[in-house]
Chain A
Amino acid sequence: MKYLIPLLLALACVPLLSPPDYFIHLGVTVLLTAVAGTGWAMMGRYGLVSFGHGAFLGIGAYTMALLWNMAGLTPWIGIPIAVALAALVGVMLGYPCFRLKVVGHYFALVTLAAGEIVRILITALRDYTGGSLGMTPDRVPPEQGLLAMQFDKAGFWWLALLAWAGGLLAWWLLDRSMASKALAAISEDEDAAASIGIRVTREKLRVTLISTALAALAGTLMAQYRMYLNPESLAGLGISLQIVFGAIAGGMYAPLGPTVGAIITIGLEEVLRIAFGTEFTGGAPFIYGILLVLFMIYLPRGIVGIVERKRRSAAAPLGLPAVAK
């Protein structure tokens, strides 16, 4: 945590050096992907593996965009509403799951179904959402840009940075709280945790709330930054698995893991795009796929997980898993 504040300040100064637009674009994309991945990992690391987190990007993004296009409500207000709505949906879905002990494979597949429902709903409501063709938020003249959250890349850099810092702060606060220990106990053995007085459903709901809210926040900012929404990139199994992949590749047990994962996934995509152009469409998922398999077999804790373990085993020769400070 102590390196994080200087890092944030340094990153905040980046736009002042007027770097190329492309660099800022990559940075914003990485940061927002990292926010979604961080959100996913908040649940994932406690064994609540969601294959439907794309849905929350979608609910957030479309709520915000529809409020703007149809009611003229600025994203500054639209985003909090959209995030709250997405988190509410998350909790409404989570509550019966947790009460009825839908866990493991079953939980993953329920979330998968939920993600698909959202994707199909967005497509089916094409009169409002544009269906699979996607939609664009209405543009405003540049002088009203600030009010409508339509501004240059630097502005989004700061917004994305803020969201990313928010995600890390949430992670840090959760780690410091008793909730983290309760959740760890729940993921070990739910019945045992309940028997020592941990309120399983409540703890799970709380982390679901944070997780889905972060995903929705990432979704709204992505949409607003791109000024374009479509169901494939903001809901459904494909994007949901990409979020999971990023978080896993980086390491879902460390706060910076999903961020490292976002750098890897976005970096990989860009390298492949530049190296092969459109000739190599499909190259990126192909290589993702191989990497995901290799990560699962050889590095299930992700890249950051390996680095952390090395550091810990140097610091704590007893090899006990250090509890996060």
Chain B
Amino acid sequence: MDPFLLEALVNGILLGGVFALPALGLNLVFGVVDVVWLCYAELVMVGMYAVWFLYTQLGWPLWLAFAACLPVVSLLGILLHQLVVRPLLSAPPINQVLATGGVLFLLQGAMTLIFRTDFRSLGVDMPPMEVGEIFVSGTKLAAFCAALVGAGILWAFLKYTYVGTAIRAIARDREVMPLMGVNPLRIYLIASAVGGALAGLAACLLVVQLDVHPFVGLSFGPITFMICVMGGLGNMLGGFLAAFIMGIIVSVGGFWGSTEFSYVVAFAFFIVTIFARPRGLFAR
């Protein structure tokens, strides 16, 4: 195989790992609360700013800045749920989505007010590694591994804890949950906190690869939504797999054409997928 194509393929898989985290977070929240957080990428953006600020402005060690980012964005998820989503739980879905769209503007605006529109870079990079005939970015590989670890922890949480099992249950049948002794509002809150923490983790992985600016969410937000829809909204495994499909399409598409072209191909692929399988690639 052409080593450059192979490299694109490997990069696609690495990219898929990074796409997977926000896709998991969005699907978790959607599956449990039944609300699409249109501002999800902006939560990630705030997390990226948090890491950048703590590391470059306050001089914290990078690992500590990463460690702080998770609870910060998790708290943001809790606030989003309590202040915006919860009052709208019985409202039409579209009102819920639009309210979270309002939060998208709010966060973009807030970050512009605080940090202006300059592109901020963390300025850390890891040396590329040579594996056989191809070069793999050390940063991307590290981010990919961290994403897999994050996904693994989420999986174990959902599989083995009471709350995790209840989260999987509530995604299917909300109304019966109180009979099990489960307070749905509490589960919503926990899912929102976990969804926020996943956005925080995604922020840590993205901030080493991308410059931060208030509109950076628009560069990966749309593709995250498409990944979720392709995998089936609320279907976490589906979203996880779809993230890799999209990552490979974007990366290999970029190998044959420009980066923009690769996104066009990815989005077009998404539209075609939805027409072929309106409930997602992995709908049963």
Contact = CB atoms under 8 A, between A and B. Distances in A.
Given A236-B218, A282-B108, A291-B102, A102 B274 contact: yes
A238 B113 contact: no
A124 to B, nearest CB: 4
A102 B36 contact: no
B105 interface: yes
Interface in B251-284: 258, 260-261, 263-264, 267-268, 270-271, 274-275, 278-279
Given A106-B274, A289-B104, A296-B102, A282 B214 contact: yes
A96 B97 contact: no
A186 B90 CA distance: 21
B109 interface: yes
A300 interface: yes
A77 B168 CA distance: 57
A283 interface: yes
- The A interface is mostly helix, strand or loop, or mixed, namely helix
B112 A282 contact: yes
B113 A120 contact: no
B264 A293 contact: no
Contacts of B107: 289
A108 B233 contact: no
* Interface-central residue, A93, A101, A120, A296, by most chain B CB under 10 Å: A296
A113 interface: yes
A241 interface: yes
A108 B94 contact: yes
A280 interface: yes
B229 interface: yes
A109 B233 CA distance: 11
A293 B84 contact: yes
A114 B274 CA distance: 12
B117 interface: yes
A248 interface: yes
Contacts of A236: 218
B95 interface: yes
A296 B267 CA distance: 29
A285 B105 contact: yes
Nearest to A276: B113
A93 B97 CA distance: 22
Contacts of B123: none
B222 A287 contact: no
Contacts of B229: 105-106, 109-110
A104 interface: yes
B264 A288 contact: no
Nearest to B269: A113
B98 A121 contact: no
A183 to B, nearest CB: 15
A320 to B, nearest CB: 20
A237 interface: yes
A251 to B, nearest CB: 13
30 contacts: A49-B97, A100-B274, A100-B278, A105-B229, A108-B94, A109-B229, A110-B274, A114-B267, A114-B271, A116-B222, A120-B267, A121-B264, A236-B218, A237-B222, A245-B98, A245-B101, A245-B102, A282-B108, A282-B109, A282-B117, A283-B109, A284-B109, A285-B105, A286-B109, A289-B103, A289-B107, A292-B99, A292-B105, A293-B83, A297-B84
Interface of B: 36, 83-84, 87-88, 91-99, 101-113, 116-117, 214-215, 218, 221-222, 225-226, 228-229, 233, 258, 260-261, 263-264, 267-268, 270-271, 274-275, 278-279
Pairs A-B, 7 closest by C-beta atoms: A282-B112, A289-B106, A286-B109, A292-B102, A289-B105, A285-B109, A124-B260
